[in-house]
Structure 1
Amino acid sequence: MASTAGGTMQALRGVSSAFYRFPSSRVVKAIASLDVATIPSISGTFGTATSWKKVENANWRRQGLRCMASAASTAANNLVVSENYVAVSSPSTGSTETDNSSKQTWKASIDFKFIRDNKEAIAKNIQNRKCGGDVEQVVQLYEQTVSLNQEVDKLRAERNAVANAMKTKLDASRREELIEKGKQLKDQVSELEIELSLLQEKLQLEGQRIPNMTHPDVPVGSEDVATLRKEVGSQRKFTFPVKDHVEVGLALDLFDFEAAAEVSGTKFYYLKNEAFLLEMALINWTMSKLLPKGFIPMSTPDLVRSTVVEKCGFQPRGQNTQVYSVEGTDLCLAGTAEIPVGGMYMDSMLPESALPLKIVAYSHCFRTEAGAAGAATRGLYRVHQFSKVEMFVICRPEESDSLHEELISIEEELYASLGLHFKTLDMSTEDLGAPAHRKYDVEAWMPGLGRYGEISSASNCTDYQSRRLNIRYRPAVVVATTAPSVPLQPPAKAKKVKNTLPPPRFAHTLNATACAVPRMMIAILENNQQEDGSVIIPEALRPFMGGIDVIRPKSSQP
């Protein structure tokens, strides 16, 4: 049975790919050769292969071709082969990137002409980032699409010419000849339109795998070659044995990891007593600093549609995904407020006067942390759920580089005011992911961990997300006037030149973490711990702590 499944899978994939290369008649023959009884999702909908052999009517064939191709592709991708059985897995539980992409129903406004004209640079960019994407295949599919589109347009023009000829005075034989030619052209156009639609879908899916272009100053290579942008403060010299945040927090009755593990599982936690107050203080302090800088405050939904997650550049059902998906729905738990905030402006046409649009959002964040292991996962460092304050900016393309510098400067200002020792890194190509054009990371010294740990990042995604979310803006209209040509004549009213709306442009998007609560809490507890087990609250946070300036062991409190 396993060998039969393998043959069927290969045949199905052949059918799926045939739709992008061959006329529909050859595809029908390929479909008819399948043993569709082994593929319930196909046989249940379309019947047996024998019945397909009997289909002669062109209209029937056109109606079924696209549906059959989709079913064949889906069945091929979801076949599970074992020694004893063949099963078709549910599309909603697919775990690979290919499975996910094959079910996408949205389209990104990708500049395929730019890709074709710059394919060498894009291929080098993909190589430097060590990510997916096949620029040669994208260019090939694009050229095939352009060629087939021209062929369809030519046939449509011939069909229109026939229709116009039919309006003239004709003898019966000539009219009959034109009627027959019109029917043939109609069938040809219909079949080519189906092939064109399928080719465009394939082009779209492959195009979405191409990552954003990289800023020329980004270092090329792995995380080890990231360059230092700025360093603030220095490592504190302790005169007593340093504890990590878990030891400090448990001694002060701030956390409960054991109860959380019983209730929710590993990598969850309860914040208690002053730890809860510290979380609230961090959030409110961060908001108080950002609102005067022109940021609009908001809270966001925890659940978002999977299509919005995809449009922001994340893979909700890819292998080792960091995204939790809600089974039986198209909803996911948001891993960052960047996703619901970006989705809020999806399909928007903003006036240029509204830009730059600066938003600061508080949200809960949920991450699977798939593949995470080791000492760095201890305690609060890597958890499944946490609170975060996120900055998100929508701007004109010419503003995004300077706004990126502004965002990272805000982060540096925030963390310096808490007395933290940290460094800012210009991250390398292999650490950018697909959406980022350039990314800065902030790493704070964590003495209990014995190393620097990431507490924040700031990314310029240029138009990568906006082309997927369809976030555009209309440039302002410049109204020109004509002055009187003869100064000696009585002054005349200036005449308005006819206005023409400038074409819309895709905005640029940026995101930056203002405060990720667990990582900030680690840095504060470990750096501000005292020999008696107490922790000094940074002065900037004290107004938000209800009068508490030191967290003391409960037994020593007055």
Structure 2
Amino acid sequence: MIDVRVLRDDPQAIRAAQERRGESPAIVDDLLAADERRRSSIAAFEELRAEQKRLGKLIPAAEADEKQALLAKTKELSAEVKAAETQQNESAAAFEELLKAVPNVASPDAPAGGEENFTTIETHGTLRDFAAEGFEPRDHLELGELLGAFDTERGAKVSGARFYYLIGVGAQLELALVQLAMQRAAEWGFTPMIPPSLVGPEAMEGTGFLGQAADDVYYLPKDDLYLVGTSEVPLAAYHGGEILDAETLPRRYAAFSPCFRREAGSYGKDTRGIFRVHWFDKVEMFIYTTVEESYAYHERLLEWEKQWLDDLELPYRVIDTAAGDLGLSAIRKFDCETWLPSQQRYREVSSTSNCTDYQARRLNTRVRTAEGTVTAATLNGTLMASARTIIALLENHQQRDGSVVVPKTLRPFLGGREVLEPLGEST
């Protein structure tokens, strides 16, 4: 949630952020009005409760007639106190619900507008000239079939559209990527973790995924549990309700987990292959720190993601995501997009977001400092999303005969294999 003090002290900053996101700033006025009703109801309840206590103290020493009058007045006040308490609770609940609907205050540095209004920050690597090499690049589905790397037809038969099997070198490639990613993360100071992929509503709501992203979430009503779309959720909830000592920060975790997304609203998009699927595995980096330090760590997360793509010898660009394309919790997000030869465009493979104190306030995660206790800040960054990383590797490192060159950093995790050969060829 946003800080209520910001709402009261600088509502215009929130209005401006809403406009940069392309959303109505009217919710700010609604929220201010709800806050006033909440505060007024608290004051009314406390005033009546104080009067009730005052009269209660007078009754033991009062004479008979006076005592009866005091008792009658106390009974009357009791009903008023009860009504005022109900009004206070209802006003607080209405304010809380409205407050949770307001996204984090988008950074003034984030480009205004929607999905297409991003800014390209930098571009890395050289795009291969396949025409000069004498062949037309295959897409990842063709390459996967040649290599026997995955099976989308049987995935659909067993589980439905947008599911798949990773097979043979496909499964080996994912396991190699996971091992390399976790090794890199450990080298950078992250604690490896395998978190649960089912979480309760408090964790899902606390991270902001039951807001604008609710339609993309798989829910198990019988158990009141949610399948996570990213391990950001259990990582953000890991220290929920705790007070962390400032001396222990930053706390860095790198989690491997399966991720599940309904992909609501994506009907007809990226239906070929395994680019947009309902399940994939991911290695996610997550940091707990202070708001003041969060901006520098956001830049560091981006540098680590870039280093990872450099390790995989992939051409990519970095974009500054527009405010209207930010998630509910983020104030700013950088995306890393790799070049896909078959599509002749860059596509997202990872991102990093600074959520400042938005998620931590919802989850009640705080930091004990010399000046007092403050709300923590959280950041997240994808290191490896299996399906899209595999796609980028196959398409960018393919050869004329359908074989795929393995990047040098990945070879030790594939038994030293330098090339993935089509089925029927020597391996």
TM-score normalised over the length of structure 1: 0.73
Whole-Å separation in 1 of the counterparts to 2:315 and 2:270:
19
Cα distance, 1:383 vs structure 2? 0.6
Q: What letter corresponds to residue 138 of structure 1 in structure 2? A: L
SS in 2 for 1:341: helix
Match of 1:330 in 2: 224
Match of 1:391 in 2: 285
Matched, 1:228 2:228: no
8 Å Cα contact 1:129/1:430 also seen in 2: yes
Match of 2:71 in 1: 179
8 Å Cα contact 2:22/2:114 also seen in 1: no
- Residue from 323, 332, 356 that aligns with 1:438: 332
Structure 1 residues 145-156: aligned runs within 5 Å: 145-156=38-49
Residue by residue over 1:178-198, the C-alpha shift from the partner in whole angstroms, topping out at 9 and shown as x without a partner, is 111111112111111011111
Bigger mean CA offset, 265-274 vs 157-166: 157-166
Match of 2:397 in 1: 528
8 Å Cα contact 2:192/2:253 also seen in 1: yes
Structure 1 residues 399-410: aligned runs within 5 Å: 399-410=293-304
> Which of the pair has more CA radius of gyration?
1
SS in 2 for 1:505: strand
Structure 1 residues 205-224: aligned runs within 5 Å: 205-224=97-116
Match of 1:260 in 2: 155
Q: What letter corresponds to residue 505 of structure 1 in structure 2? A: V
In structure 2, list runs of 5 or more residues that go unmatched. Answer: none
Cα distance, 1:401 vs structure 2? 0.1
Q: What letter corresponds to residue 230 of structure 1 in structure 2? A: E
SS in 2 for 1:543: helix
Whole-Å separation in 1 of the counterparts to 2:41 and 2:207:
31
Cα distance, 1:522 vs structure 2? 0.6
Residue by residue over 1:213-258, the C-alpha shift from the partner in whole angstroms, topping out at 9 and shown as x without a partner, is 1112111112222112221112111121111000011011111111
- Residue from 11, 14, 31 that aligns with 1:138: 31
8 Å Cα contact 2:356/2:379 also seen in 1: yes
Q: What letter corresponds to residue 148 of structure 1 in structure 2? A: S
Structure 1 residues 83-94: aligned runs within 5 Å: none
Whole-Å separation in 1 of the counterparts to 2:18 and 2:32:
14
Whole-Å separation in 1 of the counterparts to 2:394 and 2:267:
23
Matched, 1:308 2:177: no
Q: What letter corresponds to residue 139 of structure 1 in structure 2? A: L
SS in 1 for 2:356: coil
Percent of aligned positions that are identical: 39
Structure 1 residues 492-503: aligned runs within 5 Å: 502-503=371-372
SS in 2 for 1:556: coil
SS in 1 for 2:230: coil
Match of 1:371 in 2: 265
Cα distance, 1:272 vs structure 2? 1.1
- Residue from 356, 361, 367 that aligns with 1:462: 356
Whole-Å separation in 2 of the counterparts to 1:155 and 1:435:
39
Cα distance, 1:475 vs structure 2? 0.9
Cα distance, 1:328 vs structure 2? 2.2
8 Å Cα contact 1:400/1:510 also seen in 2: yes
Match of 1:358 in 2: 252
Cα distance, 1:320 vs structure 2? 6.9
Matched, 1:413 2:307: yes
Larger relative contact order (C-alpha < 8 A, sep ≥ 6)? 2
Cα distance, 1:375 vs structure 2? 5.5
Whole-Å separation in 2 of the counterparts to 1:276 and 1:542:
15
Match of 1:99 in 2: none
Cα distance, 1:166 vs structure 2? 2.4
Cα distance, 1:378 vs structure 2? 1.7
Match of 1:473 in 2: 367
In structure 1, list runs of 5 or more residues that go unmatched. Answer: 1-107, 477-501
Cα distance, 1:330 vs structure 2? 1.1
Equivalent residues, number: 423
SS in 2 for 1:379: coil
8 Å Cα contact 1:311/1:465 also seen in 2: yes
Match of 2:343 in 1: 449
Cα distance, 1:380 vs structure 2? 1.2
Change (3 A) 1:311 1:188: same
8 Å Cα contact 1:320/1:370 also seen in 2: no
Matched, 1:120 2:9: no
SS in 1 for 2:349: strand
8 Å Cα contact 2:17/2:108 also seen in 1: no
